[in-house]
Every structure is written in structure tokens, then in C-alpha cells.
Structure 1
Amino acid sequence: MFLSLTSRIAAVGALVVIALLALVASLVDASRQSRESFRWVTHSAQVIEAMEETMAGLRDAESGQRGYVLTQNPGYAQSFDRRVADSLQSFSELVELTRDNPAQKARVQSFGSLLSERVELMRQPLELARQGRFDEAEAAIVGGRGLDSMGQVLLASQEFLGEERRLQMDRIEAAERRLEWGKRLALIGGPLIALFSLSVSVMVIRGIRRPVRVITRAMTSLGSGDLDQRITDRMGSREFNRLAQGYNQMADRLATASDDQRRSERELKQVHHELLSSSQVLRQRGEVIELLGGMAHRMQAARTEAELAQVIHAFVPRVLPGLPGVLYAYNNSRNLLVPISTWGDHEGDGDAFGPDQCWALRRGQSHFVSEPGTDIVCDHVGDKDHAYHCEPLLASGEVIGVLHLDGVLDVESGFRIKVLVENIASAMVNQQLQRDLKEQTIRDPLTGLFNRRYMEEALALEVARSARSGSPLCVVMCDVDHFKRFNDEFGHDAGDLVLQAVAAELGHRFRDGDIVCRYGGEEFTIIAPGTTPEALLQRIETVRQAIAGISLRHRNQALGSTSMSFGVASWRPGMDREGRAALQAADAALYRAKKEGRNRAVLHVEEAA
């Protein structure tokens, strides 16, 4: 049955192949199960995120309700409606995500009832407040029923999150076990198959060595010119017997062998050319990856939208050569996609457009038209007969922007566009977060004016400009007269209301170039560059009269008249470059204004030496 060497090798090869296929199948199954486990881990993360967003929206809505009832500021009521809608939207997503888990679905349904009850309880005081019945609204809040309801909601959410996190940990452990099983299978199965193959190879080599030695001697003799040399021994296998017979005819086919050699050389050259082509492709991809890395570093370091646009304009044409285009950024306030960078010979004027005008944003994935009539054309595309490609920029499901390219991407550009879009979206999100964070660090949360830290930095900068240009620079220190009375008689909420009203007048009455800051407590500071003390006093008088005319009410009680005292000083060469001396002079003038009867502005006068 196994007289043929081929049959022997085939049998051994079949065994090796079967073992390898079994090993590969086991590894593939382990990989599939691990991937499925990680998919469920991701699903649990999405469920947890949806519940946390639901609770965050509910808490923010409660804050908006209390803020409106306590401050009567309509902005808090609008915040309540918006955050309730956000919370219900997140709850809807949570319902969809838990359809596959009956136990969690039941918990979500129970949680939904508590959520609806809590929202309704919060709406009742809000509606009373909207009708002007703020005392009743505040009484409803203080009643304690809302606290019990919120406690039930929190308890239900914590129970749900605890179960989901337990499920997530179980799935992570299952995935790790499957990965460990795959690892062991590879570490044990591979060496076993290799050992088996080595053993069989030794046996085959032994069966081949003797006939090979005989044939080698004959071939050596033939190479030495002995054309009468023949093989008469039996070779032990059908193949070597045929080989011996073929050798005896070899002398007559030397010319054919020469042709075969030349053909082999041509094939080797072709393989060599293919290897060079593959090497060229790999080198180009390496260069693109390096280019994308440099682009990503620069985008992350960009501090303004103009800088980001410069990076895009410089690098995208190098990453995607021959593909003009434009980058659009989403403007939340206008609900429009606004062009921020254009490169190449882009066709069209790059006007802003709404999110519903781009099919890539509608579908949440790439949208392209390679030839007219092959697919729907986006409304924002000017020339409907030209090929284009739109790639959405998304982050956490939110629209960041759109990358529009004129032309069609080839296969080689597929991996480039993916990394490019991820880098651009990440940089745009990072820039937006930096802007928001900077705004929070320089603003006073109660009044919305610049805080003391920003005032000190701005004063030092304005002093440097005044010293360099010789232009005048004035500093104003002011505070609310008898402010303690508002806190003592009407409570700190009334005091906050007074501060907000005064801050609004200060911010409205002074010039755009003036820097209005909250120094601390009821004290405010104004930095007025490019103006003389005399001119500034006229402006302050207008502000003082406007503040004296403010009439405020808190909880249906009139708070009485409001007034402010002002101290004005100017920075002069010879003072410190941080502006501390100017602030002290303005504070001294403010002290004089208080001493002279309040509700007035006093200019600091240098005492004679």
C-alpha cells in the first residue's frame, strides 16, 4: 500500500495537515469566543454609561429646578427642561440596550417608573414657580417628598449599576479564560505538531538517503563526462525507481534541462520584481504613518482653530495627494457645518450647511459617489456630476465635523483616511475641551465676570503695554455700600442677587476694552487702559447713577436702594510692573469714598513729599 514514497509522504502530510487544521480551528474558535465576550463587555460599558447619563441629567434638572425657584432666573427653568429631555433620551437608550437581558430589563422598567415619578414631582414646584407662586414652590421642595423620591431613584440606579458591573466583570473573566485557553493550546499544540513532523522527517530522510547516494554517484560520473554510466540497483520505492529510469535518459535531454534553467531564471527575476514592489509599498506606508504621527502631534499642540486649519492645510495634501477637499467643523450655536480649512483645487465655495444636508452624517459612516447616478448626492455638494467622498467626524456619537474630498479614494488610501479622520476628530475635541476649561478658570461662577486670578494677569499685561507705549492706564476699586445689610436682613441668596445685578450693570456700562473683574466678596476691579482718570470719572458717574437706580425684589420683598463707592488711581512709570501699587492707590481712594459718605467716586491724589 505504501510502496510509493509519495503515498508515504502524503499520509504523513495528511496527518500533519489534520493536526494543524484542528489546532487552527481551536484557535479560531477561542478567538471568536473571546471577541464575543469583549463585545458583551463593551455592551455592558454602554449600558453603564447610559444609566450614568440618565442620573446626571436628573441631577442637573433638579439643580435647575431649585435654581429657578430660589433665584427666579428663567435660565434655570430652561436648563431644567433641557436636562430632563437629556435624561429621558438616555433612559430610552438604556431601555434599548437592556432588551437582551430580562432581569436588567425588569430593573429598568422599575427604574423608569421611579424616574417618571421623580420628574413629575420636580415639575410641580417648577410650574408653581412659573405661575409666580415661588413661596409655594419652595415649600414643595422643602417638604421632603422629593428627597424620598430621589433616594428611591438613586437606590434603583445603584442596584442596576451593581448588577451590570457584576455582569461586566463576569464577561471580562470569561474573555480572559478563553484567551488563556487559546494561549495554552498554541503553546502545547504547536510544539507537539513540530515534534511529530520532525520525527517523520527523520524517517523519510533515512528512506531517501541510500537511493540519493546511488543517484549522486551516477550524476557525478555523468558530470565528469561518463555518459555510459547507468543505474541498475533497486531504489526501494516507486519514485526512485522511476528516477533511476529517468536518469538513464538524462543525457538525451540536457538541452531541455538548459531551457528549464533559463525559464527558472526568468521566474526568479519576476519574483524579485514583485518583492521590490512590495517593499516599495511598505516603505510608502511607513512614510505615511510617520507623516500622520507628525500631523497628530501638531494638531494636539494647536491652541486655536486657525492653527488647526494651518496644520490641516499643510499635511492633508501630503497624506492624500491629488485629492482636494475641505474640512468642516460643527458649530453648536448655529447648528451648521462651517468650513475651517481648504486645500488643493477644491471645487465649490465651501459654504456652511446643515447636518441633514450630508448623507455621511445621516448614516454615521462614509458616503461617496464614484460616478454620476451611482448613489445619492449630498445637498451641500455644488457640482452634482463630479465624484466626491464625505467622511463624518464623530466623537462619542456626537457630530464634530465632516471631511469632504473631491474624487474617489483608491484601495491604498483606505487605511490613511481612517487614521486621518480619527486624528482630526481627536484634535478638534481636544481643542474644544481646552477652550471650555480655560473659560472656566478665568470666570467667576456667580457673576460671570473675570476672576481675581485673571485680573492680576491682565493688569500685569496692561502695565507692560502702558510702559512700552506711554499710553495712560487707570485702575478702579469699587464695592457695594452696606452689603452686609442685604445678607443679614434678607439672606445670602438676596446678597447673591445684588451682586449679580451690580455685575451686570458694570459689565454693560464700561467699554469693551475695559476689563471688569470680581475682586472678591462685594468688591470689584476695573482695568481701564488708554483713558485718563478725568475721562474715567465721567464714565463711573454714569455707572454709579445706574446702580443707584436698581430696584431689586427677593421673595416678594423689596431689597431697598443699592449704591456703590469707587476709588480711581492711575499707573505711573516708577510703580511696580505687576500693578500692585496702582491697586493699593485705588483701594485707598475707595476708603476715602467710604469715609466721605459712600455712593461716590474719589480720585487718588499723591501726597506731597
Structure 2
Amino acid sequence: MTGSLSRRIVVLCATICLFLAILAGLLLEGAAQTRSSLAWVTHSTQVMRTANQALLHLQQAESGERGFLLTRQPDFGETVQDEVAASRKAAADLVTLTSDNPAQSLRAKQIRLLIHQRATLLEEIAQQASNGDFTTALNAVASRRGRNLMQHVNARVGDLLAAERHLSTSRTAAVKRRLDFITWVVLIGVPLGIAAVTLLAALLVRRIRRPMEAMMTVMSQLAAGDRSARIQTAMESSEFERLAREYNAMADQLQAAVAHQEESQDRLHAANAELSRNTEILQERGEVIELLGGMAHRMQAARTDEELAAIIRVFAPRVLPDLPGALYTHNNSRNLLAPLACWGGLEVPASGFAPEQCWALRRGRSHHVAGPQSDVVCAHVDRQVDCYHCEPLLAGGEVIGVLYLAGEVEAETRFRLTVLAENIASALVNHRLQRGLREQTIRDPLTGLFNRRYMEEALPLEIARASRSRDPVSLVMCDVDHFKRFNDEFGHDAGDAVLQAAAAEMRKRFREGDVVCRFGGEEFTIIAPGTSATALSGRVDVVREAISQQVVQEGGRTLGSMTMSFGIATWEEGMERDGSTLIKAADAALYRAKREGRNRVVVDERSAAIIDGGGGAKAG
């Protein structure tokens, strides 16, 4: 019965790990003991060095004492003090170092006591000599007490050093034994481990090599073209048996697949051809989308119909080559499709056509005529045209325009046409929205006149143009006389009706190039380019007269007549170019008109004429 190769590998790895763990444990334990023994050897060395230092300092203190008594120089007395202190410190350190060994600790304490006694005697003799009592000091030295103490110190130090040397020798021997043990463990354990691992690995390789050779042989036969080759050799493990079964199953499937290879290749060639065609189509569409993207960006940035038409004339022939065409846009106020742009040499009537004349707009979908009598022809198309295409441009069910193409749109061009129509429709809607928003920002919602913001933008431009061309530009400031009376008597709706009536009359009476604005409240301004104040005053007086003859109606009520006062000024060099000085001059003229009786025109000049309601002129 075959066993599991994975289990054998696990057993082998576990055996190797166990052997390595035992070997590592023995080595770590020997290393730890060796480290401990070496630490004790080092400790013994430190104990011996400290004992020698204590004895040496004490001997140097004795030498300093003798030098002091013989030479009577104070320097030797200072040496005695320093060496005695060092000897005492070394003795105290010796007691601390030997605290782990009772016998040695006892010897260290005896040494410390003897050193203390000898040091005290040395200090007393040195003090006597320092006081000048050298006789007493010499007698103390001659008493031999110090020599006896020194002999005891030498004896105790010798005993301690002998005992410590014995300990150091035994500890060094222990270190050597442990190192020998580690050496034998390495010399014996490692070769045994290597031999065991090699043996187990050889057995494992043998169990792997046989199945692998059998499998490689069958694979070589399969590679050579023998698709009937199968693995029949008994495997050495359950894993290889499973691999052999899977391989045989794979070979069976491969043999079945080869039988259908030619059919698969035919299908692959067909799919490849289809993929190539789709790739070309996608590439072409990508180029079209990129081109339309550039067109869309430019159309979004267009501010006027002329700019929009120029963009379409440039890009439409590139998107739809060899297809002349025209773009019609819907004029809501006239309910008419007017031509905006033509390309490809096509010319269409500028008059345009009504929406019901185009079958594409009627049906809300594309309408094309491929040849004579092939379909009904739109009324806006020349009867001699045999082939054309109309693409409606719609947004939210509302007619935006129509795209007319003089020719047949092929199937592969349909995508280009659809995307082009969507982009143009989107651009037209955006253009219409921008124009509407622009009108909202510059128009007064009540009167429909330009607002003050537009006036403040337009006046500096007209002044700059007049400064360059040396032509005059004048400004009229006017307001409704006694406007508060209409609001107080009839309400604010009546006041709005008065303002609307005055605005309608001024819009009708002034020239198309004049800019009529509502300045605020009941005040109005008119920018009149190319006209001086004197020349303008007659035309303004006609407006004043027409307004005074109106009878204002509101909600079925008769509000009565109204009058307006006017002030006129002409810009001159030296005035501010932003128009502020001109506005003040016209406003001052208006104020004079109010002050002098209202319902009149005042020209802000040195010899201005005041034209009142009766037509008489007075000096202003």
C-alpha cells in the first residue's frame, strides 16, 4: 500500500528539527555554564586585584610616613592621607566583592579591620609630625606597633589571595571541561545529524525520482505526437498516484479536443476576422469621437451664432466627408427653420422653411430619400433632388433644428451622423441657454430694458470708441415726474404699469443703436452714440411729448397721464473714461429740469436750451 509523500516529508522535517533542537539545547546549556564559570573567574581576578590594591596603598602610605619623618616635607604628609583613604576604600570594596563567599568575606572583614587600625596609626603619626612633634612621632614608629599590624595585614591578604587563586583555578578547570563537552557535542552530533539527514533525503529522493521518470517518459511520448500514451507505472505515493490519474484524464480530454481542432480553427479564423472588423470600426469611431470632442469644446465656447456656424462649417465636412449639408435652427418667435451654416458647396435659401414642411420634424425621426419615388419628398427640398437625408434635432420633445444632407447616408456612416446630431443639438441647447442667461443678467425683468449693470458695462466701451473715432457720445438721464403719486393713489401695480408704458414708448422712439436702460426705480438712462447733446435734444423732446400724451391703463382702471423730465450731457476729453463724470453731468441737468418745473429737457451746456411743454426755449 502506498503512503503519503507529504507525510514522509513532514516526518523527515520533524526528525531534523528535533535533532537540531536537542543539539542546540546541549550547546546552549554548555555555553551558559561556560559563561557562568568565566564570570566567576573574572570575579576572582577582581577580588585578587582589589586585595593587592588595598595592600599596595597601605605600603605606599608607610613609605610616605617615613619620607615625612626623614625629610619633614609636607608633601609626604599629603601622600599619607591620600594613600590611607585609597587603602580604606579598596578594603571596603573587597568586603563587597566577597559577600557571596562566607569564608572569603570573613577574611576580607579581618583585612578591613587591620587596615583600618594601621591606617589610623599612620594618620596619628602624620598628624603629630604635621604639628611639629617629630620626637613623639619617631617614638611611635620605634614602638614597632605599626610593623606588627602590617605583618598581620600581609598575612591575612596572603591567606585571601591563596584561597581566591584556588577558587580561580577550579573555576578555570570547569570552563575547560565545559568547552571540551561542547567540542565533543559538535564533533560527534553534527556528523551524525548530517549522516541521518542524508540517508533520509536519499530515501525520499528515490521515492520521488521513480514516479517522475515514469511521468517524464509519458510526457515525452505525448510531445512526440503519441496522444495515446498513458501512465501505467505504479507510483510510490498517493500524491503521485493522484497526479497520474489527473494527467491521464487531461490526455483523454486533449485527444478529444484535437479531434475538433480543425473545426475550432475555422471558428477562430472567423472570430478573428470579425474582431479585426470590429477593431477597425472601434478605431474609426474613436477618431470620430475625438474629432467631435474637439468640435464640442469649441461649440461650448462659442458666444455668437456666427462663431457657432464657423465651427460647424469646419468640423461637419470632416465628420461626414463627401456629404454636403446644411444646419437649420428653429426660430421660436417666427416658428421658422432658418439656415445657420452650409458646407460642401451646398447653397440653400436664406428664407428658411416652416417646421411642417419637413417630414423628419413631423415624424420626430430620421427621414431619407434614396432615389426617385422611393419616399415622400419634404416641401423644403428642391424637387430635382433625388437623394437626401433629414435628421431632426430635438431636446425634451422640443424642436431645436434639423440637419439636412444632400446625399445618401451609408450604414457605416450612420454612427457618425448620430453622434454629430447629438453634439450639435446639445451645443444649440447650450447656446440658447447661454443667450437666455445673458439676457436675464442684462435685462430688467419689469420693463424689458437693459439694466444698470449693462449700462455700466456699455458706457465705458462707447466712451472708448468715441475717443478713438472722435465721434460724440451723449447720455440722457430721465425719470417719471411725481411717480410716488401713482404708487400712493393706485398701488405698486399701477406704478409698474406706468414704468412699463414709459419704457415701451422710449424703446419705440429711440434709434436701434441707442442703449435704453432702466437705471433704478423710476429713473432711466439712454446712451446715444454718434450724437451730440444739442442734436439729441430735439429727438428727446419728441419722446417727452409722446409720453405726456399717453393715458395709462391698469387692470381696467385709468391712471391718467404722466410726464417725464430729461437731462442730457455729452462726453468730452477730460472727463473720466468710466463714465462717472458723464453720469453726474446728465444727472445735474435732470435735477435742473426738475427744479425748473419738470416735463422738460435740459442740455448740460453753457448755452443750453430748455424746451418746456409749450415748446418755448429758455436759457438753461
What TM bracket, shorter-length normalisation?
0.5 to 0.7
Displacement of 1:388: 2.2
SS in 2 for 1:403: strand
Q: Report the Cα distance in structure 2 between the residues aligned to 1:451 and 1:417, rounded to whole angstroms.
A: 42
2: CA distance between counterparts of 1:291 and 1:215? 56
Match runs of 1:83-482 below 5 Å: 213-214=217-218, 216-217=220-221, 279-346=279-346, 352-383=352-383, 386-482=386-482
Query: What per-residue deviation string (whole Å, max 9, x for no partner) do you get for residues 108-150 of structure 1?
Result: xxxxxxxxxxxxxxxxxxxxxxxxxxxxxxxxxxxxxxxxxxx
Counterpart of 1:421, as a letter, is A
Q: Is the 8 A contact 2:218 2:230 kept in 1?
A: no
In 2, Cα distance between equivalents of 1:364 and 1:473: 51
Counterpart secondary structure, 1:340:
strand
1:301 Cα deviation after fit: 1.4
The alpha-carbon deviation at position 272 of structure 1 amounts to 8.2
2:473/2:531 contact within 8 Å kept: yes
For the residues of structure 1 that align with 2:515 and 2:570, how far apart are their CA atoms? Answer: 15
Percent identity, aligned pairs only?
A: 58
Report the CA distance between 1:575 and its aligned residue: 1.1
Equivalent pair of 1:338/1:353 in contact (CA under 8 Å): yes
CA shift in 2, pair 1:546/1:377, >3 Å: closer
Between the aligned partners of 1:344 and 1:445, the Cα distance in structure 2 is 43
- Aligned residue type for 1:368: H
Determine the C-alpha separation between the residues in 1 that align with 2:249 and 2:502.
Answer: 108
* Separation (CA, whole Å) in 2 of partners of 1:350 and 1:603: 45
Letter in 1 for 2:594: K
Q: Structure 1 residues 378, 534: closer, same or farther in 2, change over 3 A?
A: closer
Please give the per-residue CA displacement for 1:493-551, whole angstroms capped at 9, x wherever unaligned: 22222222222222222222222211111111121221122112222222222222223
Counterpart in the other structure of 1:579:
579
Is the Cα–Cα contact under 8 Å of residues 372 and 384 in structure 1 kept in the other structure?
A: no
Cα 1:338–1:554 change in 2 (3 A) is closer
**d(CA) in 1 for partners of 2:463 and 2:499?**
28
Letter in 1 for 2:298: R
1:555 Cα deviation (Å)? 6.0
Whole-angstrom CA distance in 2 between matches of 1:509 and 1:347: 38
Displacement after TM superposition at 1:348 (Å): 6.2
Give how far 1:384 is off: 5.4
Q: CA deviation at 1:213?
A: 4.2
Deviation at 1:424, TM superposition (A): 0.7
The one-letter amino acid of 2:548's match is A
Give RMSD over aligned pairs. Answer: 4.0
Summarize the Cα distance change of 1:277–1:575 in structure 2 as closer, same or farther, 3 Å threshold. Answer: same
Deviation at 1:334, TM superposition (A): 2.5
CA distance in 1, matches of 2:555, 2:225: 120
Aligned to 1:548: 548
Structure 1 stretch displaced more, 267-276 or 510-519:
267-276
| Contact kept in structure 2, 1:347 and 1:406, CA below 8 Å | no
Letter in 2 for 1:543: V
Q: Structure 2: which amino acid aligns with 1:306?
A: E
Distance in 2 (alpha carbons) for counterparts of 1:210 and 1:368: 74
Tell me, in whole angstroms, the C-alpha distance in 2 between the residues paired with 1:554 and 1:275.
Answer: 74
Are the equivalent residues in 1 in contact too, given 2:302–2:431 (CA < 8 A)? yes
Post-superposition Cα deviations, 1:363-396, rounded to whole Å, max 9, x if no partner, equal 2112223343333332323245622222111100
| Aligned counterpart, 1:180 | none
Instruction: Label 1:454 to 1:373 Cα distance change in 2 as closer, same or farther (>3 A).
Output: same
Distance in 1 between the 2:469 and 2:339 partners? 38
Report the equivalent of 1:499: 499
Contact 1:348 / 1:382 at 8 angstroms: preserved in 2?
no
Q: Distance in 2 between matches of 1:351 and 1:591?
A: 50
Structure 1 residues 300 and 557: CA distance shift in structure 2, 3 A: closer
Find the residue that maps to 2:551 and give its secondary structure.
coil
In structure 2, how many angstroms separate the alpha carbons of the residues matched to 1:514 and 1:231? 101
- Which residues of structure 2 form unaligned runs of 5+? 1-212, 234-244, 256-260, 608-620
Structure 2 CA distance for partners of 1:217 and 1:487, relative to 1, 3 Å: closer
Equivalents in 2 of 1:531, 1:221: separation in Å? 103
C-alpha separation in 2, matches of 1:512 and 1:220: 95
Q: Name the CA distance, whole Å, in 2 between partners of 1:221 and 1:439.
A: 83
The equivalent of 2:520 in structure 1 is: 520
C-alpha separation in 2, matches of 1:562 and 1:293 = 57
| Partner-residue secondary structure (3-state), 2:550 | coil
Equivalence for 2:537: 537
1:471: how far off? 1.2
Q: TM (normalized to structure 1)?
A: 0.55
Equivalent AA in structure 2 for residue 501 of structure 1 = A
Task: Tell me if structure 1 keeps the 8 A contact 2:474–2:528.
Answer: yes
Residues 490 and 318 (structure 1 numbering): CA distance in 2 closer, same or farther, change over 3 Å? same
Residues 436-477 of structure 1 deviation map (CA, whole Å, 9 limit, x = unaligned): 222222222222221111111111111111111111122121
> 1:582 and 1:396, CA in 2 relative to 1: closer, same or farther beyond 3 A?
same
AA paired with 2:495?
A: G
- Is the Cα–Cα contact under 8 Å of residues 348 and 383 in structure 1 kept in the other structure? no
The 1:279–1:212 alpha-carbon spacing in structure 2 relative to 1, beyond 3 Å, is farther
Partner SS state of residue 455, structure 1: helix
Q: What is the rounded CA distance, in whole Å, between the counterparts of 2:567 and 2:223 in structure 1? A: 114
User: Would you say how many aligned residue pairs link Structure 1 and Structure 2?
Assistant: 376
CA distance change for structure 1 residues 552 and 340 in 2, over 3 Å: closer, same or farther? Answer: closer
d(CA) in 2 for partners of 1:570 and 1:602?
Answer: 12
Closer, same or farther: CA 427–216 of 1 in aligned 2, 3 Å: same
Give 2:441's aligned amino acid. Answer: T
The equivalent of 1:569 in structure 2 is 569
Letter in 1 for 2:464: A
CA distance in 2, matches of 1:554, 1:314: 53
- Could you give the per-residue CA deviations for residues 419-447 of structure 1, whole angstroms, max 9, x where no partner exists? 11111111111111122222222222222
Q: Is the 8 A contact 1:537 1:601 kept in 2?
A: yes
SS state of the match for residue 573, structure 1?
coil
Contact 2:371–2:387 (CA under 8 A) maintained in structure 1: yes
| CA contact 2:393–2:421 (8 Å) conserved in 1 | yes
SS of corresponding position for 1:552: strand
Q: Provide the C-alpha distance between the structure 1 equivalents of 2:571 and 2:280, rounded to a whole number of angstroms.
A: 67
Counterpart AA for 2:563: S
Name the structure 2 match of 1:115.
none
Letter in 1 for 2:283: R
- 1:402 is displaced (CA, Å) by 1.2
Give the drift of 1:274. 7.6
- Is the contact made by 2:339 and 2:348 (CA closer than 8 Å) also made in structure 1? no
Task: Report the CA distance shift for 1:538/1:388 in structure 2 as closer, same or farther (over 3 A).
Answer: closer
Change (3 A) 1:365 1:606: same
